[in-house]
Structure 1
Amino acid sequence: MALQRRLVVVVVTASSLLCVYVLCVHLEKPPSWSTPPLKDAPGFSKAPGRSGSSAPQEPLRKETGGDRRTRPPPTAAAHPEVTAPPTAARHQPAEARDPGVSEAGSRYQGGDRAGTKGPPAPQRQQLIGGDGPTDPPFIGDTYKSEDVPPQTECRDGIRSRVKKTAFRGRFLEHIPVLQWAEDVTREQHQRLSRYPGAHGWGGIDYETLAETLSVLNASANRLLLDDWNHRGNASACSRCAVVGNGGILKESKAGEEIDGHHYVFRTNGAIVKGFERDVGSRTTHYTFSTNTLMNSLRSYAGFRGPPQSTETRYVFLPDHDRDFLLMKAAATHRAVERGRERAEDPTKYFGADVSAEKLKMYHPDFIRYLRNRFLRSSALKTKYKALYRPSTGAVMLLAALHSCDQVSAYGFMTPDYRKYSDHYYDKSYRPVGFFINHDLRMEMSLWQQLHQEGLIRLYGHR
């Protein structure tokens, strides 16, 4: 009996030690939710002379002034470009939605309801894009087609030159840049509701979409360069200056050169007053989302709101339903009906003389196309994929690339970006901050490639 009791004790003790060992080994394994570092996207060659090209992309926020990384901030207030996490509806994967969505595009004439003079209405055709299914499904590399007659007779414009470059396979000539009233149909709402945030209409009910986009019903709302007929002054090619807010513009003395273009694009916290010698004074197109506008007003001392002039157009980058609501309020000169900006007076942002013809809104197919074909970051393979999109400045520059004949880019990141403060109006040096919702290093590499291919002229400090 004594021997049996000793054997039982030995067996129990050995079993206990084995359990403890297994538990320790399990705890030493990395958690399944850990995020791998981002890498350069496939299909993008590294630009010669690019600094830091071998550095990993930040899957999490990189703290300025050091290499310590933390998770992205929980609220949008941390950075003008950081948006709140999508709603539960926006997280719904494409395959969980109606599998019977038709991929056949509608065909109709876009009438000029407001009577504004302009070129013939574009023909909406079948969907264009990928040759087969994409993986994962939310990528959605299929887009609506738009056949718009050329606005200029430029023989050496971007659209003709791109066919001779490495971008010819990515560039879709008939991608719609803007959305307007004629885009709202039940079929298109069903198709685009599969994609979240700026990439579709996910989380926006059909009634809200129809009542807000209905105010964009003039020819001016469907063309980025809507006034070219009287602005061109017999020029064969449209010349656009796209101005970012980068510190590289400080002491650049590029203001006169910028203002000499037919069109001048600006974005977010674009402070012009007091910096005219370096950045110019004109603004024909101001690109923003409601979120980035409100955050810019809170974050940047000296920024009092969007530029206001008779030639300024306001181009919304819709991230949420609040963009549609603010746009409708501005077009109707009424307070915002509901949502986070409820009761806000839109004229304090866009001026008392703002009209519906001066308002535009990027098409979700265009934003998704830019993400998929030009800036397909490895962030799309992380748990933060729903937060990722091209930066507002990147959308603005690539919209100009698809609309203008000649594009000059100022104030965008170059390989020597560490020499300059984050913004040209910073009173003291602030390093560039990196966030998961944008891949700024990939954008910098893209600007280098577009410059080398002769599709844009990128400003570098002289």
Structure 2
Amino acid sequence: MKMCQTGTKTWCIRITLLMLLIIFFYCFSYYLQRKTGSIKPPPPSRPMCDKWRMQNRWESLKFNITRKRKLFFGMEDFFWRQHNSAFGLPYGIKGMEPLLLKILAGTNSFKMPESIENLECRTCVVIGNGFGIRNHSLGAIIDEHHVIIRLNDAPVRGYEQDVGSKTTMRLFYPESAFYNPNLHNDPDTLQVLVPFKQQDLRWLKEILYNEKRMRKGFWKPPPQIWTATSSQIRVLDPYFLQHTASKLLKIQLTSRGKQKPIHPTTGILAVFMALNYCDEVHVAGFGYPGDQNVKQPIHYYGSTTMKSMKNSYHDLSQETEALKRLEDIGAIKFLHHNS
């Protein structure tokens, strides 16, 4: 009996020594790896933006604009100080201050959601309405971004596989507004008005205060009943359209004589706005077919062709070149090659 007990103690001692030796070996190996720098840190739980690199790319654009500028108008912009604007719409609000102040009182909201504002790194994607986004199955990739920006009346339902299902904000003007904003937007989607003319602001005021609608001054009848939630409505500062035109596209802000005015599209404006707000900007669905492709649809929905763009106020080739410059310096990234 004593021999058995003695043998058991011997084995316990041996096992204990072996475990101590193994622990010492792993601790010593870890120390050597740390000392020589061969140990690799665990992979990050989420992708991080290289802010220094992105900031340098932003500065190389020489737009002379700070990312700290707010995207949307707020009451404090007018209530405590005089808002001086050198331009009237669409590049400024000169003469529109009283009208805009009443609109802001009716919406009482001017910020991005705190869940996005508080992010250390904001990834954004601007979804153009171009035909080229079809059949690329980018929906899942698009929905992974923090901020998903859509344009005008581009539909989502029925096209989720290619364009995604989520919408953070939708830029629009009255003629491009959905009669039912909930049809192709999330309940918390920000409805961002891009005011191009006085009638645009007046339309929104009439909607907010349920006033008599004025139908004149629109190239297409806007919704007379618009069911958007007031707390989700924003008004984009025309300052961004001004700099999209003057800095990015080199457009003369005042037309001369009978010369036809040229204005940026909502799409290129959205890209410029995203560059001001996001750390990483992706784009998809940009680009138009060549003039020879008169029968090819220009949108991923509907059957509109290039013929409809014949008398537009946009310089599409100029915008294509601008996007190429942004891509070349790494300021934006295309999600697919056919944009």
1:294-443 to structure 2, matched below 5 A, reads: 307-328=184-205, 332=208, 334-340=209-215, 344-347=224-227, 350=228, 354-356=229-231, 358-377=232-251, 382-383=256-257, 387-413=261-287, 421-427=297-303, 430=306, 433-443=309-319
The 3 A distance-change label for structure 1 pair 155 and 242 is closer
* 3-state SS of paired residue (2:132): helix
What RMSD over aligned residues (CA atoms) do the two structures have, in Å?
A: 3.5
Equivalent position to 1:177, from 48, 55, 71: 71
Single out whichever of 166-175 and 176-185 deviates more from structure 2.
166-175
| Match among 248, 261, 265 for residue 149 of structure 2 | 265
Q: 1:222 aligns with which of 108, 111, 126?
A: 111
Q: 1:178 to 1:229 in 2, by over 3 A?
A: closer
Please, which runs of 5 or more residues in structure 1 have no aligned partner? 1-152, 298-302
Question: What is the CA deviation profile of residues 401-448 of structure 1, one whole-angstrom value per residue up to 9, with x for unaligned ones?
Answer: 111111110111179797763101134865672445222211111111
Q: Distance in 1 between matches of 2:281 and 2:311?
A: 27
Please tell me the residue identity of whatever aligns with 1:169: K
Kept in 2, the 8 Å contact 1:184–1:210? The answer is yes
Q: Which residue identity does 2:171 align to in structure 1? A: T
Equivalent residue number for residue 445 of structure 1 = 321
Contact 2:130 2:298 in 1 (8 A): yes
Q: Relative to 1, partners in 2 of residues 1:408 and 1:416: Cα closer, same or farther, differing over 3 Å?
A: farther
How much has 1:240 moved relative to structure 2? 1.2
1:198, distance to aligned residue in structure 2 (A) = 1.6
Q: Does the 8 Å CA contact 1:326/1:336 hold for their aligned counterparts?
A: no
Does residue 293 of structure 1 match 2:187?
no
State the AA in 1 paired with 2:327.
H
Deviation at 1:257, TM superposition (A): 1.2
Structure exhibiting the larger radius of gyration computed from Cα positions = 2
Unaligned runs of 5+ in 2: 1-46, 216-220
Distance of 1:342 and 1:429 partners within structure 2:
22
Identity percentage of aligned residues: 24
Normalised to the residue count of structure 1, the TM-score between the two structures is 0.53
Q: Normalising to structure 2: TM-score of the pair?
A: 0.70
- Number of residue-to-residue matches in the alignment: 284
Distance across 2 between alignment mates of 1:285 and 1:264: 7
| Mapped contact 1:170–1:373 kept (Cα < 8 A) | yes
Matched, 1:210 2:101: yes
- Structure 2 SS opposite 1:177: coil
Deviation at 1:172, TM superposition (A): 0.8
Comparing both structures, which one devotes a greater share of its residues to helix? Answer: 2
Do the aligned residues in 2 keep the contact of 1:242 with 1:264 (CA within 8 Å)? Answer: yes
CA distance in structure 2 between the aligned counterparts of 1:360 and 1:384, rounded to whole angstroms: 34
Q: Does the C-alpha gap of structure 1 residues 209 and 275 become closer, same or farther in structure 2, counting only changes over 3 Å?
A: closer
Amino acid at match of 2:62: G
Alpha-carbon distance between aligned partners in 2 of 1:428 and 1:215, rounded to the nearest angstrom: 36
CA distance in 2, matches of 1:455, 1:271: 27
Counterpart among 80, 83, 88 of residue 196 in structure 1 = 88
